[in-house]
Amino acid sequence: MRCLGIDPGSLRCGYAIIDVAPGFRLTFVEAGVITAPKGRDQHARLVEIGCDLEAVIADFRPDTAAVEAGFVQHLNGALTLGASRGVVCYVCGRAGLTVTEYAPSTAKKAATGNGAASKEDVARIVAVRLGLRKIPDGDTGDAISIAICRAADRDAGWVERPRVAKAPNPFFIAVPGSDSAV
């Protein structure tokens, strides 16, 4: 299964594509940042991001998409990020992809084991985890962590997880002819 992870933004939109094989084996396919010039009108930037994301989806044909849910502290930032997330979700939906959203802390925890990891830590750890030669920038690292989070999601339904039998509890004594224990 091929996962597309997206870290939306109105100027920089990180994306990453990973393949997931049975046994939760992850293979890096592609990652990068879609940029829109700061001097352009906000709506023109959103159109440019949408068109470039359409090209990424057409080139790599992912099976599912995951988007980082926004966390901003100011109203203007929330509106701008919301517009960018809307464009990203629209483009993915038009391509027939199921879109799942994850909080930044959830994606960081799935990728690094620490939900409070810094952007630098996330980038460094995903580079090691996927065997990348170069540490990605912050937006690309976040997008990779979103893709890993989607791959690890139990609700995804297609990730095969090996079941490890637990050793019997030595302190559990079954009472014959009963469902209880002593």
The answer to whether 179 is a known catalytic residue is no
Number of structural domains in the chain:
1
Which pLDDT value is given to residue 163?
37
pTM for this one? 0.81
Strand order in the sheet with 98-102: 25-35, 12-21, 2-7, 64-68, 98-102
Considering the candidates 52, 139, 142, 153, report the single residue annotated as catalytic: 139
* The pair of three-digit structure tokens given for residue 139, joined into one six-digit string: 């937006």
Degrees, nearest 5: CA angle 34-53-76: 65
38 touches 48 (CB < 8 A) = no
Which domain range does residue 51 map to?
2-156
Per-residue CA distances from 8 to 49, 56, 105, 140, 144 (Å): 9, 14, 15, 10, 12
- The CATH number assigned to the domain holding 93 equals 3.30.420.10
pLDDT digits (tens, 9 = 90+) for 94-151: 999 999 999 999 999 999 999 999 989 999 999 999 999 999 998 999 999 999 999 9
Considering the candidates 48, 59, 63, 68, report the single residue annotated as catalytic: 68
The answer to whether 48 is a known catalytic residue is no
The answer to whether 54 is a known catalytic residue is no
Is 172 contained in some domain? no
pLDDT digits (tens, 9 = 90+) for 51-97: 999 999 999 999 999 999 876 666 666 777 889 999 999 999 999 99
